[in-house]
Amino acid sequence: MPNINVISRRGFLQHSLKAGAGIGLASLMNLPPFVKRALAEGNIGTNGKKLLFIFLRGANDALNSVIPVGDNAYGAGIRPGIFIPQDGGVNYGTASACEFPTGLASTFQYANAIKLGNGFAALHPSLKFLAPVYNAGDLALVHRVGYPKQSRSHFDSQAYWESGEPNSVLREGIFYRTLLESGLTSSNPLTGVSIQSGLPLLFRGTQAAMTNLSDPTRYDLMGVPSDPLSGDLKAKNILLAAQNSRFADKRSRPLLSLQYKNMLDTLDIFAGINFQETGNTFVDNANSDGAGSSPYYLFPTSDSKNGGATAAKFVVDTGAYGFFEQLKGAAMILNNTDAIIAGTEMGGFDTHNNQGGITGDHANLQTRIAWAIYALRKYFSNYANKATWNNTIVVTLTEFGRTTVQNTSGGTDHAEAGLMFVAGGGVKGYGKNGRVSGAFGCHTGDPIPWQTGTTGSMYGVSGRYLQRVIDYRSVLGEIIREHLGATSNQINRIIPGYAVSGESLLSRGTSSIDGTEIMGELDLV
C-alpha cells in the first residue's frame, strides 16, 4: 500500500525539479500572487474576527475525552485499565445541561464520567471546566473527525492537518493561506502569531512571513555593549541595513530573508504588552469552582496562580505552567495587536503507555484543555480589547484518535477519527438556535448515527478504529469561511478539497476519495 502517498510525492518531486527550487503551493494551486488589500476579496482581517488555535500534539484519545457512555461496547472490556466509569446514580441517557461538579473538597474529586446531557456522551472528569462554556452554548464538541485515507504517522498526519491537504506532500500552512488571502500580509507584519518553540507548518509559506515567538519575554536584542541605546540600537540598525545586501539565491535564503525581515519588523510591536509574570494579573470574575475564597487566576503559570493555590484545589497539573505561559502570550497578542490568528501547541498526547484513567497523564493533559477554554472565554470577555469573546473562536487540532481497545502497556495506539473542541461567543452550541446539544457526531440520533456495539462506529475501520463522519477540513473551513470571512473562491484556494465537490466538505455526502459518508459543514458558527 505505498499508494497515493508515494505517487503524489513523486509527482511533486518531478514538478518541483522542473520548476527549480523555491516552489510554493502557489504555482500548483494557482494562488494569486501576493494580492494587495485593495484587490482582496472577502473580509478576512477586516471584520474584527479572530482565531486562536491549540494543536494537541501526539493525538488525543478522543474516546476518553468525550466518552460514548451510551455505546455498550465502551467500558472495562476494551479498556480495563483506563476506562472512565459511570456514576451509578446518574442517568446519562436523558437530555439536560452538562453537569458541573463544583464545591468539592478537591477540584477533581468527582471520579466518574460527567453527564454531558445530550443523552449519549459524557465528559472525562478532568474536563469539568468545559461545563460552564458548554452550558452557555459557546462550545461545540466535534467527535468522529478525520479525513480520507487516514495516516497513522504522527508527522504525516500533523502535516495534513496543518496544510489542509490530506495525503499531500505540500508543506504550506492552511492558516498561512488564510492570512495571505486577507491581503494584509504586505502591510501588516503581524497577521499570524504562534508562541512555541518553532513556527508551525500551519503558518509556513514562501510569500509572506508569520511570526513565531519562542519566549515573548525575551523578544529583544542586546547588542555589544549590551545597552538599549548603545550597542542594542546599533546592532538593530545595522541588521536593518544588512537586509538590503543582495546575495545569490540559495536553497535556504528565501526562508532566512522572510523571517529576518519579520523579526526586524516585529521586534517593537509588543512594546506595550507586559508578558512578564508581573503582567499575569488576569482573574476570573466569579468563583470558578463553586465555593472558594477568591476568584482564580485565568492563566496558571505558577503554584500561587493555580486555582486555589493548594494541591487539592489546583485547576491544572503543575506541569502545565509552560503551556499556560505560551497560551497567555498568544491570547494577549491576539487581544492587543492586529494579529488575526494566534495559537500554540501542547504535547504529551501520544499515550502509548500508562495513560491513566480518572487520574494520570491523560487526565492531567485534559485539565489543561478544559481550563484553557474556560479561561480564554473569561479573558476575552472580561479583558477584551481588540479581541472579544463574540469575535473570537478557539479551536483545537490533533492528528488522529487512538485505538478503541487499549494495549498491554495501559495505553492506546494510533488510530483514526478524533475530536475537536470549538469554542467562542459565536459558536452555536447547547441552547442556541434551539439546540439541545453542543456535541456533534456523538449520538445515535445523529444524521449519520453513532453505531453502538463491537461492530459499531468504534470498530468502523479495519475492525479496530473509530470511523469518521466529519472531515476536519469542514470544521476549519466553516470557521475560515463563516467566522473569518473568506469567500467561496477563497476557501477553494485555502482548502483545495472544497473545490472538489466529491469531497463533500461543504455539505453532507459520500466522500469520493474513500466512499465514507460524511456530514459536511455542521453549522457551528
Partner 1 sequence: MLNEKEFKCRQMKASKFSLSLFVSLLSVSLFADDFSNPPSPRITSVTTVSNAQRQIIFTPYPSADQFKILRSGNLSSNSWLEDLTGVFSGVTWTSPQNSSNAFFQLQVTPLSSNAILTATILSKLTYGPTPDLLARLATNSLDTFITEQLNPETIAENVSLTHTNIDYIAAKFGTPTNVLSATATTGPGTAGIADFRAWYALRAVGADRQLHEILTQFIDNHFVTQYGKDVNFVAGLQFPAGVLQRFGTDLEYRELSRWRQVLLTPTGTFSNLLTISAESPAMLIYLDTASSRGNGANVPNENYSRELLELFTMGVDNGYDQSDITNMAPCWTGWTLEMVATNQAFNVFASKTTNYLDPNAVNKTAYTNLVGVWALNFKVNNHAAYAKTIFGGKIVPARFGAPYTTKTYGGNSTPGLYQLNIPSRTGTNGMQDGYDVVAHLANLPFTQEFLSVKLCRLLVHEDFSTGYTFTDPNLSEEGKLVKACMAAWEANGGQLRPVLATIFNSALFRGNGGNAQKVKTPFEFSVSAIRAIRTSTNGSGMMGSFTASTDGYGLVQSAGGPQVQGTASPMARMGGMVLFNRSDPDGYPEAGSGWISAGTLAERIRYIQSLLLATGVTGKNDDNIFLTKNLTDPVTLLRLRLPVLADQKDAGKVADLFLGLLYPGEGKASLDEYRTIAMNYLNTDDTGANSSPFNLLTPSNVANNIYDTRVRGMVAMLMTLQRFNEQ
Q: Find the binding residues for partner 1 in span 249-268 (CB under 8 A).
A: 249-253, 255-257, 259-260, 262-263, 266-267
The DSSP secondary-structure symbol of 213 reads E
Q: How far is the CB of 155 from partner 1 (least distance, A)?
A: 5
Q: How far is the CB of 441 from partner 1 (least distance, A)?
A: 23
Residue number, 47 or 237, with CB nearest to partner 1: 237
Strand partners, 422: 140, 395
Q: Which stretch binds partner 1 (CB under 8 A): 24-32, 320-328, 372-380, 504-512?
A: 320-328
* Sole binder of partner 1 in the list 30, 88, 218, 515 (CB under 8 A): 218
Residue number, 219 or 282, with CB nearest to partner 1: 219
Helix (H, G, I), strand (E, B) or coil at 452: coil
Q: Is the dihedral of CA 117, 389, 178, 501 positive or negative?
A: positive
HEC states along 261-323?
HHHHHHCCCCCCCCCCHHHCCCECCCCCCCCCCCCCECCCCCHHHCCCCCHHHCCCCHHHHHH
Q: How far is the CB of 205 from partner 1 (least distance, A)?
A: 10
Residues 43-62 interacting with partner 1 (rule: CB under 8 A): 57
The count of other CB atoms within 10 Å of the CB of residue 151 is 18
The answer to whether residue 215 forms part of the interface with partner 1 (CB under 8 A) is yes
Contact 332, 195 (CB under 8 A): no
Residues 114-133 interacting with partner 1 (rule: CB under 8 A): none
If you search the block for the grid coordinates 480589547, which residue do you land on? 385
| Site map 398..427 versus partner 1, x via CB under 8 A | -------xxxxxxx-xx-------------
Can you tell me the distance from the alpha carbon of 317 to that of 311, in angstroms, rounded to the nearest whole number? 9
Q: How far is the CB of 98 from partner 1 (least distance, A)?
A: 33
Residue number, 57 or 124, with CB nearest to partner 1: 57
The answer to whether residue 88 forms part of the interface with partner 1 (CB under 8 A) is no
Residue number, 333 or 475, with CB nearest to partner 1: 333
Q: Is the dihedral of CA 226, 228, 231, 234 positive or negative?
A: positive
Q: How far is the CB of 222 from partner 1 (least distance, A)?
A: 4
59 Ramachandran zone, left/alpha/beta (phi>0; psi -120 to 50): left
Residues 449-478 interacting with partner 1 (rule: CB under 8 A): 462
160, three cell numbers: 495534513
The count of other CB atoms within 10 Å of the CB of residue 101 is 19
C-alpha to C-alpha distances, 254 to 33, 210, 257, nearest whole angstrom: 16, 14, 5
Contact 192, 339 (CB under 8 A): yes
The answer to whether residue 234 forms part of the interface with partner 1 (CB under 8 A) is yes
Residue number, 99 or 416, with CB nearest to partner 1: 416
Helix (H, G, I), strand (E, B) or coil at 248: coil
The answer to whether residue 273 forms part of the interface with partner 1 (CB under 8 A) is no
The answer to whether residue 360 forms part of the interface with partner 1 (CB under 8 A) is no
Contact 313, 106 (CB under 8 A): yes
Q: Which stretch binds partner 1 (CB under 8 A): 97-105, 126-134, 309-317, 322-330?
A: 322-330
Residue number, 30 or 408, with CB nearest to partner 1: 408
Q: How far is the CB of 402 from partner 1 (least distance, A)?
A: 11
The answer to whether residue 95 forms part of the interface with partner 1 (CB under 8 A) is no
The count of other CB atoms within 10 Å of the CB of residue 399 is 29
Helices (H), 30-129: none
The answer to whether residue 241 forms part of the interface with partner 1 (CB under 8 A) is yes
37 Ramachandran zone, left/alpha/beta (phi>0; psi -120 to 50): alpha
- Cis before 225? omega within 30: yes
The answer to whether residue 76 forms part of the interface with partner 1 (CB under 8 A) is no
Q: How far is the CB of 323 from partner 1 (least distance, A)?
A: 9
Residue number, 322 or 449, with CB nearest to partner 1: 322
* Sole binder of partner 1 in the list 28, 29, 90, 221 (CB under 8 A): 221
Residue number, 410 or 438, with CB nearest to partner 1: 410
Contact 69, 97 (CB under 8 A): no
* Sole binder of partner 1 in the list 47, 72, 91, 222 (CB under 8 A): 222
Q: Which stretch binds partner 1 (CB under 8 A): 244-252, 305-313, 376-384, 482-490?
A: 244-252
The count of other CB atoms within 10 Å of the CB of residue 21 is 11
- One-letter amino acid for residue 179 of the chain: L
Q: Which stretch binds partner 1 (CB under 8 A): 1-9, 378-386, 424-432, 441-449?
A: 1-9
Q: Which stretch binds partner 1 (CB under 8 A): 11-19, 35-43, 443-451, 501-509?
A: 11-19
The answer to whether residue 219 forms part of the interface with partner 1 (CB under 8 A) is yes
* Sole binder of partner 1 in the list 354, 359, 385, 455 (CB under 8 A): 354
Residue number, 37 or 152, with CB nearest to partner 1: 152
Helix (H, G, I), strand (E, B) or coil at 160: helix
Residues 324-353 interacting with partner 1 (rule: CB under 8 A): 325-326, 347-348, 350, 352-353
Can you tell me the distance from the alpha carbon of 303 to that of 307, in angstroms, rounded to the nearest whole number? 8
Phi, psi of 339 (to 5 degrees): -55, 140
Residues 145-204 interacting with partner 1 (rule: CB under 8 A): 151-156, 169, 171, 194, 197-199, 204
The count of other CB atoms within 10 Å of the CB of residue 445 is 10
- Greatest CA span in the chain, whole angstroms? 73
